[in-house]
Structure 1
Amino acid sequence: MKNIKIVLAAFVSLLALVSCSKWDDYKKYTQEGETFYTGKLDSVKVFTGNQRVKITGLFTADPNIAKTKITWNDGRDSVIFDINKGIGIDSFNKIINVPEGVLNFKIQNFDAKGNGSMIVYASGVVLGPKYISGLGNRPVKRAELLSSGIAEVEWDSFDTTTGAKFSVVKYTRTDNSVDSVVAPVSQAKTNLPNFKGGTSVTIRTLYVPSATAIDSFNSISQTVGVMYDVTAQYLKNTGTGVNGTNFSTIGTDGRWRTPTDWIVTPDVKNNFNMTAGGVDLGGWLPYQCALSMESWDAGQPLIPNGKMYQTVTLPAGKFTLVVTTSDCSDNGTKYITIASGNTLPDIDNVLTTALAYKSISKWTDNIVKFDLASSTQVSIGFQAKFTAFQSFLKINKVKLYYTP
Structure 2
Amino acid sequence: MMSTNRGSKARGAALAVVPLVLVAACSSGTGSAGGEDGEIRMMVNLTDNLDQAYWEKLVKPFEDKTGLKVKIEGPTGKSVAESFPQQLAAGTAPDVIQSIFPDDDTAPELVDLGDEPWAKGTPMFDEYALGDKHYAVGVGTQTQSLIYYNKSAFEKAGLTKTPTTWDELEDGLAKLKQAGYTPMQTAGDFQTGLQLQQIYHPTLNQLHPKWQTAVSDEKLTVGEAYEPAFRMYKEWIGKGYIAKSDVGLSPSQADGNFIAGKVGLYTNGSWFAATLDQAEDLPFEVGVFSPPAADGKPYPGPQGATMANPYMVHKGTGDEDGAKQLVEFLVTDPVAIEAQLGSDGVFRKDADVQQTAVDSQIQTILDDAPELVAVGEGQGNVRLPVTGFNPKFTEVAQSLYTGAGPADAARTIDQWVDENR
TM range (shorter): under 0.3
Give the TM-score taking structure 1 as reference length. 0.23
Max Rg structure: 1
Q: Which has the higher contact order (CA 8 A, sep 6+)?
A: 2
More strand per residue: 1
More helix per residue: 2
